[in-house]
Amino acid sequence: MILNLHLDYNMLIKFCVYTDKPIRVDMYLSTLFIDFSRSYIQKIIDREQVLLNGKTINKNIKIKNRDELEIELKTESLDEVKPEKMDLDIIFEDENLLIINKDPFLNVHPVPWEDGKKNTLVNWVLYHCHENLPSIGWVERPGIVHRLDKDTSWIILVAKTDSMMNYLSQIIKNREITKNYIAVVNGIFPEREFKIESYIGRDPNDRLKMTIKNPLNPKIAISYGEVLSYIDNKYSVLKINIKTWRTHQIRVHLSSIGYPIIWDKVYWIKHINEEVLKKFWLQRQALHAYELDFNLYWKQVNFKAKLKADMKKIIWDLIF
Q: Cα dihedral angle (94, 97, 103, 107), rounded to 10 degrees?
A: 140
Helix (H), strand (E) at residue 223 = strand 216-231
- Strand arrangement, sheet containing 68-74: 10-16, 68-74, 50-52, 55-56
Separation of alpha carbons 149 and 132, rounded Å: 26
SS3 183: strand
Alpha-carbon torsion (7, 112, 252, 225), positive or negative: positive
Give yes or no for a contact between 74 and 88, defined as CB atoms under 8 angstroms apart. no
Question: Known catalytic residue: 317?
Answer: no
Tell me 134's DSSP state.
-
Question: How far is the C-alpha of 96 from the C-alpha of 89, rounded, in Å?
Answer: 18
Which DSSP string do the residues of 16-83 spell out, in sequence order?
A: E---SS-EEHHHHHHHHBTTS-HHHHHHHHHTT-EEETTEE--TT-EE-TT-EEEEEEEPPP-TT---
Backbone phi and psi for residue 27, each to the nearest 5 degrees, phi listed first? -65, -45
Give the C-alpha separation, 153 to 258, whole Å: 23
DSSP class of residue 148? -
Q: 151 with 104: CB under 8 angstroms?
A: yes
Distance of CA 268 to the CA centre of its chain: 17
Annotated catalytic residue, options 67, 149, 264, 310 = 149
Distances (CA, A) of 260 to 1, 85, 133, 238, 287: 27, 36, 38, 12, 11
**Residue numbers annotated as active site:** 149
